[in-house]
Chains A and B, each alone.
Chain A
């Protein structure tokens, strides 16, 4: 299909019906529910109904000391847990003016970029599963396990990491880590070529994604969509560049953008980001300085009163933590600005008039993690 779809009422009578997608639905990525008003196969209105996995993270941030909230951050968007660790410890460090040793910053970058790759691999397999291809999942999970091995040796967990601490990271790299990571990078590059041959260049995939689900840059701004969604609309916005945090300003990487704005563009952005993340990890390993990995941190941490923000580029886009402090051990108000929330909010407008199957392709290309939306 080359031209954007127009709404052509199937019956001509304007008769519609309501299709309930979810909260348990294999194509809806967890417990997302979408109330769809359909005219035949065409979506007239798709209204996401969320909150089915609201887990009170913001309330919990208010009723416990900051350090006790840290494990929660790994469970908001469990696929990019380290980025969420990073945003929270970053906000606390910014407020308390804590020094982070350079070695710790580099380790943070290395681990977060590995986490980004593993997150994109899960997206890739789930997205292709939505489109009807099962085989890619087996390849992607194979590669993902290698990353999980690297991170598990370091952090102690496979998924919901809690590795960063206020003022650094909890544990130094083990002696063989750099070598194993380099070996993984060397293995991963040919795999990406294989992914390209197996899936990306596949004509069926191209037909399903090209010109499907266009999202204009203006729509992204109106809804606050970030990450691969806005970069797939040709806007080069990446928090690592716009508000450089950690040591990203010392590393050389590209921000891939594709101006086509369709589902394929968002797909290609993520595939290219894996390449860039591998580059970043490689450079960071080369530049890794010696020294301590945890700075001096007071035993009881109380933030000075005020309002502090810290944003990171998570795998799904801009994630910001806002801590409003009143000088006590716990935050007075903790706001998690999560990328999936904003990315999904544009779905209602973007999916209008699409075929149902195409709307699901659009939804998959937004890369949703439902607990990240509901918090």
Chain B
């Protein structure tokens, strides 16, 4: 049996790759996809006080074809799961997923024995890059999540880490 060879692992265009990664990291286009409470905090992150556009991630796109970042902001239930899977498949590569809030991470407060509706974690549907805990996470947490994703893309952190005293 022939093993498929991924040439991208062998042939590297170092400078070009770095440049592309840097550009991608600084202009993430999230999909406008509010599910529940977390979506309001996502809106607040786009609002004047937190102003996510400082980090280049404010261009919320209503169409999955134009977006490269899916922020799953809220509870996914079994009725919604097929639709969200289609949205993920419609996004063009390369694409990243942020699971925002406890519901997207694990089902959050809506998990109990024999529950009948909630998908217990969006990573059961597709791979997730960054998890942001909170119920809902604060806008600062979402920004931190975006910075973490940038770090994942470029390999280094552009912005200083805020340390608590």
Q: Residues of A with Cβ closer than 8 Å to B?
A: 23-26, 29-31, 51-56, 59-60, 63-64, 71-72, 75, 78-79, 122, 125-126, 137-138, 141-142, 144-145, 158-160, 370-371
Contacts and interface: CB of A to CB of B under 8 A. Distances in A.
A78 B39 CA distance: 10
Contact of A160 (B37, B44, B75, B84): B37
Interface of B: 32-37, 39-41, 43-44, 47-49, 62, 64, 74-75, 77, 79-80, 83-84, 87, 109-110, 112, 115-118, 135-136, 138
Contacts of A75: 36-37, 109
Contacts of A141: 43-44, 47-49
Contact of B112 (A54, A60, A145): A60
A145 B47 contact: yes
B110 A60 contact: yes
A339 B43 CA distance: 23
A349 to B, nearest CB: 24
Contacts of A24: 33, 64, 83-84, 87
Given A64-B112, A122-B40, A122-B43, 9 more contacts: A51-B77, A56-B117, A78-B36, A137-B43, A138-B47, A141-B48, A142-B49, A145-B44, A371-B75
B115 A56 contact: yes
Given A52-B77, A60-B112, A160-B135, A23 B36 contact: no
Given A60-B110, A72-B109, A160-B136, A53 B32 contact: no
A86 to B, nearest CB: 18
Contacts, number: 97
Given A24-B83, A160-B136, A53 B74 contact: yes
A32 to B, nearest CB: 11
B138 A56 contact: no
Closest 8 CB pairs between A and B?
Answer: A141-B47, A26-B62, A78-B37, A52-B80, A145-B49, A142-B48, A138-B48, A55-B110
Contacts of A63: 112
A210 to B, nearest CB: 27
5 contacts: A55-B117, A75-B36, A125-B43, A141-B47, A158-B138
Contact of A54 (B47, B79, B87): B79
B49 A371 contact: no
Contact of A30 (B34, B47, B77): B34
A26 to B, nearest CB: 4
B35 A30 contact: yes
A65 to B, nearest CB: 13
Contacts of B34: 29-31
B37 A159 contact: yes
B36 A371 contact: yes
